[in-house]
Amino acid sequence: MLLPDNVHPDNTLMYNGALIIKTLKRIGGASLLDLFVETKTENDLGMPIFVLSLDWLYLADCITLNDQGKITLCS
């Protein structure tokens, strides 16, 4: 799923994770739905791939959930 050979690159977790990181750099922290809406306005992204990409970014220590419930980039 990260680097598949039979799936279009736009549907990979790495590509969509990069889109999420780009959005977070632009807007800072955001709630789950706000981040989804902001990411979807620039790219055609479905909720299942979005959530899987968030899971992957969290496991890779790229994002975190702060005390206010906002998703932010790790420093």
Q: How far apart are CA 23 and CA 72, in angstroms?
A: 10
How many CB atoms within 10 Å of residue 75?
A: 4
9-73: CATH topology is Arc Repressor Mutant, subunit A (1.10.10)
> What is the Cα–Cα distance from 71 to 44, expressed in whole angstroms?
20
Question: For 27-39, how does the pLDDT look when each residue is reduced to its tens digit (9 = 90+)?
Answer: 999 999 999 999 9
What stretch of H or E contains 63? strand 63-65
Q: Where are the alpha helices (DSSP H) in 1-75?
A: 13-27, 32-42, 47-59
Domain segments of the chain: what residues?
Answer: 9-73
pLDDT in tens, 6-52: 777 788 888 999 999 999 999 999 999 999 999 999 888 899 999 99
